[in-house]
């Protein structure tokens, strides 16, 4: 049994990770400041004696005994990370430094949740790990994508300077049950709009692409990376099925039997035109293969939101 700290554990991905690591027989410490996370996401674990919940903000230092740290604390949707951009940068600089200091002191292995956003608006397609990216340092997405880039830098500097045992995963657009209703990401927005019969809001002309990964597949890749020896990443994990946002809207309307109409709204600045992971490295090093087809994943997510709304 390992003692595992999950920061951001009450969030969408973090709560699924709590479930998985508890199921596998570990002791889990879930740490969260509840900015975008919710007690509801982890309520079913509160009576489990192997589960602990700590309300804390990672921009403040903390000392805990731990064997492994999954550092997921950071708002992930543009609406939330742009709400207080300075705080988003602090979470990725001060917060990541605090977690690396903790890993250094306790000799814990630490995994950083990085993102496909480190590639910015990519000039290379699909994106391989060796691509350095095309990121605007002063735009409205910079607090997040530059924040995550410096978080990767800190991980590798602590590894080189203090020999900290690191893992870096670059997560591509992930969806599934427990996404926050109000977080403004495309999958949750479209599903909620479709279920309520409201207009589906496409930003821009809908020709931009994303590649959507169901959360269970992502958790498989994330735990595989943490448990792999002699490979620290960075490594892309996601699903390489690529769809335009217009195709996604049409899929969601169909799968939820909705009468919603599609409407077009202005495209936010610096919105990447295309995104698709090259998964060669994850397949080779982690034996990773996404298994859930987008239609099945969306159906499960539609079921989740229809219960939540109903
Ligand atoms: P989320 O917003 O649901 O979860 C983030 C969690 O971190 C929340 O519970 C929030 O309350 C907590 N948090 C935020 N700032 C904190 C702080 N300073 N101290 C303590 N807790 C804090 O988002 P998510 O989709 O579950 O994302 C989890 C991680 O994965 C994030 O680091 C995100 O950048 C990364 N990621 C997610 C995606 C995706 O598509 N979902 C893609 C790439 C990377
Ligand atoms: N998007 C959209 N309508 C919405 C929400 C998002 O058309 O209601 C678009 C957004 O402009 C982007 C894509 O969908 O091109 C994915 O957006 P999301 O915020 O989910 O993820 P990210 O842009 O961070 O990849």
Question: Is residue 52 predicted with pLDDT exceeding 90?
Answer: yes
Cβ atoms of 226 and 218 within 8 Å: the answer is no
Minimal-distance CA residue to ligand 1 atom 15: 74
pLDDT of residue 299: 98
Mean pLDDT calculated for residue range 157-168: 98
Q: Mutate which of 113, 203, 264, 270 to test ligand 2's pocket (most atoms within 8 Å of Cβ)? A: 203
- The reply to whether ligand 1 has any atom less than 6 angstroms from the CB of 8 is yes
Domain with CATH 3.40.50.720 in the chain: 3-174+214-237
Q: Exactly one of 70, 81, 119, 144 is catalytic; name it.
A: 144
Q: Please provide the DSSP assignment of 136-194 as one string.
A: -TTSTTHHHHHHHHHHHHHHHHHHHHH---EEEEEE--EE-TT--TTS--HHHHHHHHH
| CATH code assigned to 176-210+241-275+292-309 | 3.90.25.10
**Ligand 2 centroid – CA 118 distance (Å):** 16
**Ligand 2 centroid – CA 278 distance (Å):** 20
Percent share of the chain, pLDDT over 90:
99
Domain with CATH 3.90.25.10 in the chain: 176-210+241-275+292-309
- The reply to whether ligand 2 has any atom less than 6 angstroms from the CB of 203 is yes
Question: Is residue 80 predicted with pLDDT exceeding 90?
Answer: yes
Question: Is residue 173 predicted with pLDDT exceeding 90?
Answer: yes
Paired with 55 in beta bridges are 32
| CATH code assigned to 3-174+214-237 | 3.40.50.720
pLDDT of residue 16: 98
Which residue carries 């350095």 as its tokens? 132
Q: How many CA atoms lie within 13 A of 293 on its CB side?
A: 3
pLDDT of residue 310: 81
Q: Mutate which of 185, 204, 253, 263 to test ligand 2's pocket (most atoms within 8 Å of Cβ)? A: 185
pLDDT of residue 61: 98
Per residue in 121-162, pLDDT tens? 999 999 999 999 999 999 999 999 999 999 999 999 999 999
- The reply to whether ligand 2 has any atom less than 6 angstroms from the CB of 84 is no
Q: Which ligand is nearest to the CA of 60?
A: 1
Average pLDDT of the chain, as a whole number: 97
Question: Is residue 91 predicted with pLDDT exceeding 90?
Answer: yes
Percent share of the chain, pLDDT over 70:
100
- Residue 204, C-beta contacts closer than 8 angstroms, at least 6 positions apart: 245, 264, 266, 267, 271
pLDDT of residue 307: 96
Minimal-distance CA residue to ligand 1 atom 23: 76
């Amino acid at each position: 049994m390992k003692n595992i700290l999950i920061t951001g554990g009450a969030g969408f991905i973090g709560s699924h990770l709590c479930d998985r690591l508890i199921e596998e027989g570990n002791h889990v410490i879930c740490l969260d400041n509840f900015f975008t996370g919710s007690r509801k996401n982890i309520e079913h674990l509160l009576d489990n004696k192997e589960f602990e919940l700590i309300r804390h903000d990672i921009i403040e230092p903390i000392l805990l005994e731990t064997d492994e740290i999954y550092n997921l604390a950071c708002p992930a949707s543009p609406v939330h990370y742009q709400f207080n951009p300075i705080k988003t940068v602090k979470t990725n600089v001060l917060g990541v430094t605090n977690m690396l200091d903790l890993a250094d002191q306790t000799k814990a292995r630490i995994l950083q949740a990085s993102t496909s956003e480190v590639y910015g608006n990519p000039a290379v397609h699909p994106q391989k790990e060796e691509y350095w990216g095309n990121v605007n340092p002063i735009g409205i997405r910079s607090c997040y994508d530059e924040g995550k880039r410096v978080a990767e830098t800190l991980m590798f500097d602590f590894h080189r300077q203090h020999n900290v045992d690191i893992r870096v995963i670059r997560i591509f657009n992930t969806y599934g049950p427990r996404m926050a209703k109000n977080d403004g990401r495309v999958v949750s927005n479209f599903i909620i709009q479709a279920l309520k019969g409201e207009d589906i809001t496409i930003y821009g002309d809908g020709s931009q692409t994303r590649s959507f990964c169901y959360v269970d597949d992502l958790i498989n890749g994330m735990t595989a990376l943490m448990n792999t020896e002699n490979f620290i990443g960075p490594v892309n994990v996601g699903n390489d099925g690529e769809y335009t946002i217009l195709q996604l809207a049409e899929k969601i309307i169909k799968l939820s039997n909705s009468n919603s109409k599609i409407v077009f709204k202005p495209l936010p600045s610096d919105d990447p035109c295309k995104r698709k992971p090259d998964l060669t490295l994850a397949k080779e090093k982690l034996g990773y293969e996404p298994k859930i087809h987008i239609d099945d994943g969306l159906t499960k997510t539609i079921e989740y939101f229809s219960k939540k709304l109903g």
